[in-house]
């Protein structure tokens, strides 16, 4: 069993994701929060101009806001490359879904 | 193969903790026990849905129905579809064999998140109970079919809201299992278990998990929108309020077509484990099979709208999705060719798991080829919503996933329970299964080409002969399935003790005792070569 435990320890050492020591300060969070507020205000403003603006605003600014939340609040910035690739694959899949959906909706 | 000779740990079937009996099972975090919990649950659901399907076939024995009402018939095909899809084939192989064998195959002691794993099972059971409750509460059993198409699902007085919520809860179970498997494969592989040293079942489960993770949230949100629309009339899908019913179909199929690959990929993985073991040689084209699993997961996620060719989509979309549908046949065919090539010049040991694996290949090939037919736009218009679709679907899902499940269960049963079944009884069960299956579902393919629409309660006299053939086929099929499950049930209680490696397999599970010990390995193995390393072949 001791050999087993030793192996488990080895596994843990090898397999734990490495977290760099760098951590965001409150200043960064506040700046991101302000940016999110500004983007929300832009979005609300655009939705009052016309429906077309509202749709384009939603399509561009909402992902941008979500990206800021992912990157800073959810610590994606401080993760290793594997997790970043995973997120990019997910976003890429979503974009392909959108494109294929629009091949129908835009050409009705 | 005898590394376990001095095992100190008891079998996973023995209660060693504070809790005993049923309570120990219901609170377990052992991936093997959770796999067995899924197995028992799913076989129960399968038998119920099989009974419903059996009654549906009886209804079609006459041209004018007396057995049940039309409304009950609508409820029955919905029930059959919902149970089979959401409670058997989608979770089927990943939840049972993935849970039980994935950690073992990669040399780990458990999955990455054992408690989350048990939570997934509870979500699964909660979803199942809600689905059953939806039959007897509200306006009664849903009559929409398993696809819950809007706007009918928004208007019907039956209890669609609860059934849809049940599917939503089941979706969580699926997503959590997906997260667990992806993390397990990334983080818990044994030393030396490089990506291309993993058994191909792991690649299949990895691909499946990605689909579960990426596609399930879409249908989950869509189903919530259906509930909101039914309660608050928000007008997303209802054309009377400016909504778009085609949007529902898109969102539903963005999940539900990849779900077909959630169902079939693990079955392909199991078949890929079985064939080298009984051909006694390494798999032909390891990397081609591994990458084809990922390609099926990727391309298979982009073909959803081929379910909607007659729904009024744009011409551009129909052509695009038709092309993508043709492309997804390529990685599927790669697997079939590789399986057959593995068998070629192998030292074939013809045992029950191989028989069912070969049945899988035969039936899946028919299902796949009829699928390519439907991908062609002109043919699709002719056969849309006919029995051809029902026949094709059952060839893929039952002939594919179902037979894959049966083959996998035969292959791993001795390892899981430490008991051996009667091979003769299994051979006997195979004949009515195979004959009945083809009478039933090839009969449906012919009926569809003749123009018999699906989901109809009555049929015209010109379809009657084939309906009778299909119904008689269903009797053979049920007889064979009951013999199959009866044989395994008997073996579970009265079967002789199984050897640790009854098939001469070379992947890691066959180095363990039957049944495996609680933490799988006394010593975590160090992997030095690929998974299908047969000594006699390398000499």
Same domain, A85 and A69: no
- Give me the helix-helix angle, B245-279 and B200-232, nearest 10°: 160
pLDDT of residue A10: 41
pLDDT surpasses 50 at A78 = yes
List, in sequence order, the alpha helices (H) in B137-285. 152-155, 160-187, 200-232, 245-279
Residues of chain B with pLDDT under 70: 1-8, 64-65, 536-539
Q: Is there a contact between A100 and B320 if contact means CB atoms under 8 Å apart?
A: yes
pLDDT of residue A6: 39
Which of A16, A100, A105 has the most B C-beta neighbours within 10 Å, making it the best mutation to test the interface with B? A100
Same domain, A29 and A69: yes
Residues of chain A by 3-state class (helix, strand, coil), percent to 5: 80, 0, 20
Q: Is there a contact between A4 and B521 if contact means CB atoms under 8 Å apart?
A: yes
Residues of chain B by 3-state class (helix, strand, coil), percent to 5: 70, 0, 30
pLDDT of residue B7: 59
Number of compact structural domains in chain A: 2
Q: Which of B214, B250, B519 sits opposite A93 (nearest CB)?
A: B214
Q: Are B33 and B99 in contact (CB under 8 A)?
A: no
Nearest CA-CA partner of B212 in B252, B262, B141, B264: B262
Task: Give how far A106 is from chain B: nearest CA, Å.
Answer: 8
Task: Give how far A26 is from chain B: nearest CA, Å.
Answer: 31
pLDDT of residue B355: 97
Please name the CATH architecture into which domain B33-534 falls.
Up-down Bundle (1.20)
Same domain, A28 and A69: yes
Residues 6+ apart with CB under 8 A from B119: B176
pLDDT surpasses 60 at A21 = no
Interface of A with B in 67-106 (CB under 8 A): 82, 90, 93, 96-97, 100-101, 103-106
Q: Is there a contact between A107 and B250 if contact means CB atoms under 8 Å apart?
A: no
A1 touches chain B (CB under 8 A): yes
Residues 6+ apart with CB under 8 A from B164: B148, B153, B223, B226, B227
Residues 6+ apart with CB under 8 A from A33: none
Is A3 a member of any domain? no
Give the separation between CA B390 and CA B420, rounded to whole angstroms: 36
Same domain, A38 and A67: yes
pLDDT of residue A16: 45
Q: Is there a contact between A107 and B191 if contact means CB atoms under 8 Å apart?
A: no
pLDDT of residue B240: 92
Same domain, A38 and A66: yes
Q: What is the 3-state secondary structure (H, E, C) of B292-350?
A: HHHHHHHHHCCCHHHHCCCCCCCHHHHHHHHHHHHHHHHHHHHHHHHHHHHHCCCCCCC
pLDDT of residue A4: 41
Q: Are B168 and B103 in contact (CB under 8 A)?
A: no
pLDDT of residue B137: 86
Q: Is there a contact between B191 and A1 if contact means CB atoms under 8 Å apart?
A: no
Residue A36's domain comprises 24-74
Give the separation between CA B338 and CA B342, rounded to whole angstroms: 6
Q: Is there a contact between B191 and A11 if contact means CB atoms under 8 Å apart?
A: yes
Residue B374, strand partner residues: none
Same domain, A93 and A53: no
Interface of B with A in 324-363 (CB under 8 A): none
Same domain, A31 and A59: yes
Is A11 a member of any domain? no
Same domain, A70 and A85: no
Is A67 a member of any domain? yes
């Amino acid at each position: 069993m001791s050999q087993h435990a030793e192996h488990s320890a080895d596994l843990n050492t090898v397999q734990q994701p490495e977290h760099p020591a760098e951590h965001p300060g409150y200043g960064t969070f506040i700046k991101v929060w302000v940016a999110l507020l500004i983007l929300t205000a832009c979005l609300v403003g655009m939705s009052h101009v016309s429906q077309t603006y509202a749709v384009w605003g939603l399509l561009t600014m909402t992902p941008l806001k979500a990206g800021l939340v992912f990157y800073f609040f959810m610590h994606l910035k401080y993760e290793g490359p594997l997790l970043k690739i995973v997120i990019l694959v997910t976003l890429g899949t979503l974009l392909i879904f959108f494109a294929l959906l629009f091949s129908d909706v835009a050409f009705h | 193969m005898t590394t376990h000779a001095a095992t100190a740990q008891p079998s996973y079937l023995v209660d060693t903790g504070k809790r005993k009996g049923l309570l120990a099972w219901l609170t377990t975090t052992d991936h093997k026990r959770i796999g067995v919990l899924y197995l028992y649950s799913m076989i129960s659901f399968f038998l119920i849905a099989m009974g419903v399907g059996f009654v549906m076939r009886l209804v079609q024995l006459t041209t004018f129905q007396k057995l049940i009402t039309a409304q009950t018939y609508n409820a029955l095909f919905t029930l059959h579809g919902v149970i089979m899809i959401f409670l058997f084939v989608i979770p089927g192989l990943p939840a049972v064999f993935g849970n039980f064998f994935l950690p073992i195959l990669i040399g780990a002691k458990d999955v990455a998140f054992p408690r989350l794993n048990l939570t997934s099972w509870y979500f699964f059971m909660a979803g199942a109970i809600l689905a059953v409750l939806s039959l007897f509460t509200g306006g009664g059993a849903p009559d929409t079919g398993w696809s819950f198409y809007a706007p009918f699902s928004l208007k019907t007085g039956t209890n669609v809201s609860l059934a849809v919520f049940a599917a939503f809860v089941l979706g969580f179970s699926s997503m959590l299992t997906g997260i667990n498997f992806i993390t397990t494969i990334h983080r818990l592989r044994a030393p030396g278990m490089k990506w291309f040293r993993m058994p191909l079942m792991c690649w299949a489960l990895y691909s499946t998990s990605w689909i579960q993770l990426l596609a399930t949230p879409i249908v989950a949100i869509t189903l919530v929108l259906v509930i909101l629309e039914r309660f608050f009339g928000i007008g997303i899908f209802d054309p009377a309020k400016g909504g778009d019913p085609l949007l529902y179909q898109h969102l539903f199929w963005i999940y539900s077509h990849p779900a077909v690959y959630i169902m079939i990929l693990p079955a392909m993985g199991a078949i890929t484990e079985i064939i080298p073991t009984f051909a006694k040689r390494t798999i032909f084209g390891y990397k081609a099979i591994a990458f084809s699993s990922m390609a099926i997961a990727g391309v298979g996620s982009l073909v959803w709208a081929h379910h909607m060719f007659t729904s009024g989509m744009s011409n551009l979309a129909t052509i695009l999705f038709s092309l993508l549908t043709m492309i997804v046949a390529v990685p599927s065919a790669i697997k079939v060719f590789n399986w057959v090539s593995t068998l070629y010049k192998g030292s074939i040991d013809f045992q029950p798991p191989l028989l069912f694996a070969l049945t899988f290949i035969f039936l899946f090939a028919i299902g796949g080829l009829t699928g390519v037919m439907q991908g062609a736009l002109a043919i699709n218009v002719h056969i849309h919503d006919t029995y051809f679709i029902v026949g094709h679907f059952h060839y893929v899902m039952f002939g594919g996933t179902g037979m894959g499940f049966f083959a996998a269960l035969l292959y791993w049963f001795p390892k899981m329970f430490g008991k051996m079944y009667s091979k003769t009884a299994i051979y006997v069960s195979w004949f009515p299964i195979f004959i009945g299956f083809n009478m039933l579902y090839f009969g449906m393919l012919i009926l569809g080409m003749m123009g018999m629409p699906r989901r109809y309660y009555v049929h015209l006299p010109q379809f009657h002969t084939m309906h009778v053939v299909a119904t008689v086929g269903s009797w053979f099929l049920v007889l064979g399935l009951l013999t199959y499950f009866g044989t395994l049930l008997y073996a579970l209680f009265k079967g002789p003790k199984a050897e640790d490696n009854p098939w001469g397999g070379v992947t890691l599970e066959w180095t363990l005792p039957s049944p495996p010990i609680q933490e799988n390995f006394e010593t975590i193995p160090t992997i030095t070569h690929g998974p299908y390393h047969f000594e006699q072949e390398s000499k």
